Amino acid sequence: MKVIYEEPLKCKGKLVVLENRWYLSFEEQGPDNRYKKRPFQVLDKEIEEFCEQLQKNFTYYEEQKQKGCSSIIKGEGGQWIRFGIREGVCLFYQSYPIKSRKKLEETLLELQMAKEKAEQLLNKEKEET
């Protein structure tokens, strides 16, 4: 499948648009080169659910933080909720922890804008063929 567009995202991911679909691609590198990179993808049909899960996980993070929680919890959608080191809701594994409402809103907006851009590009591609 031919890639027609790629764009890096501030949330450490990348928007990848193919000829008939799109996805968000993430890759986490360990603390040094001894660790393999871990890939993670959010497919076009999963993005709405991924954003909803991010919101739910963040609400849970805020509730547990007030209670003094100090552990690592696997949240919905492969996201991790961390307290202490790299604290916040991580989009995947340990990367890009979100620990403020402002950063959550910025991330959700960026994901929504990536979705809209991908859909526009796919519609344009369909019109041209």
List the structure tokens of 29: 């590198």
User: pLDDT value at position 87?
Assistant: 92
C-alpha–C-alpha distance, residues 22 and 43, integer Å: 7
User: pLDDT value at position 50?
Assistant: 96
User: pLDDT value at position 86?
Assistant: 82
C-alpha–C-alpha distance, residues 45 and 43, integer Å: 5
Displacement of CA 42 from its chain's centroid (Å)? 7
User: pLDDT value at position 105?
Assistant: 98
Q: Which residues of the chain are under the pLDDT cut of 70? A: 29-32, 129
- Cβ-Cβ contacts under 8 Å for 57 (sequence gap 6 or more): 75, 76, 77, 79, 81, 89
